Structure 1
Amino acid sequence: MIRLKNILPKAFLFGIVEMVDISGVEKTYEWITTLGTKLAEIEGPGFEGAWEDDVNYLPICPFGNELIDFIHIHGSEIPSQFTELMNYVNRQKDESDEPWNYPALVSVLGILRHSYVTRRAKMAKAQVYNVGSKSVVNNIKVYNEEAIEKARMTKEQVSKILDRAFCVYKVEYLED
């Protein structure tokens, strides 16, 4: 059931399905990243979530419950449009010379969150590496090996934080 209190997140998720059907995965990816960037510019520089040294993490998955509810609306399966989008982004990461600039876990919410976090960090004169994420759907930990290496961390360090988080970013402040 869609209640008024969670209609906007579900409308966004339905919008993704429609965008993939109408415009394809590439345009949908661009649309989602543009939304994340614009929201970040409204919010301004900075970070949300908890800190451990120079690691920023989100203890909860924003809109995670809405995503799970949305999947149940579709018969407990991830909509094929979401899978197409995730496959597209994973191919982009695999073909990139800078795979550390991609989210560890590619999901529709992860694409939005990554563009939002990356833009806010850039405005704060920082570089972020999404070193790991945990799926809200099946609780699986996913690592971005290249980002872990670039951030000079270990998979074990990231895993320890993922035990209590859904998304982990290493933050490096840039020199002026």
Structure 2
Amino acid sequence: MRLSVVRAAVVLVGVAFAGGAGCGAGNPSAVPVNGALVPVEQRVAIDAVAGEDLVEPGKALSSNDFAGEVVVLNVWGTWCGPCRGEVGELERVRADTEGAGVEFLGVDIRDNDRSVPVDFVRDRGVGYPSIYDPAGRSLVGLGKYRSIAVPTTLVLDRRHRVAAVFHGAVLAEDVLPRVREAVAEAVG
């Protein structure tokens, strides 16, 4: 009898996780599977992610600055080992998509001493801007994606709907196909 109760509990837990994990069929509010292309009809637009430029204090930056462009939005921090490791991968994707209607925007969080991330992006030759946001307030614009792990990279289509989400460090070979798919989509 006890074994039957345990089996029933395992089955119920499995069903609960299967229904709530990943990009559930017909459930546009579910968070997509890591790195998977979100079907257009299930995409959710984000609000503007905005804040002060990391390297140019006083200059405002916003995802809305890139209206009509595919945006690769990367949440990172210098304290995060995987973030430090993926920056070269993101730079490769940026170089491969230059001139293709793709923009990159970083959001540096939890770095309280601005000089550390400024030195980081300069030393590594990062060619895209980042918002300096130690408290992570700009992430409110991400809606259901705001409770994300660091690093997280989102690929936004031309209407700034989430086309793909990558949790953890990324490789260019994983992100580049999603970016190219978003670029190839018809605007609409």
Normalised TM-score (structure 2): 0.26
Please state which structure has a larger fraction of its residues in strand: 2
Name the larger-Rg structure.
2
Give the TM-score, by structure 1 length: 0.27
Q: In proportion to residue count, which structure has more helix?
A: 1
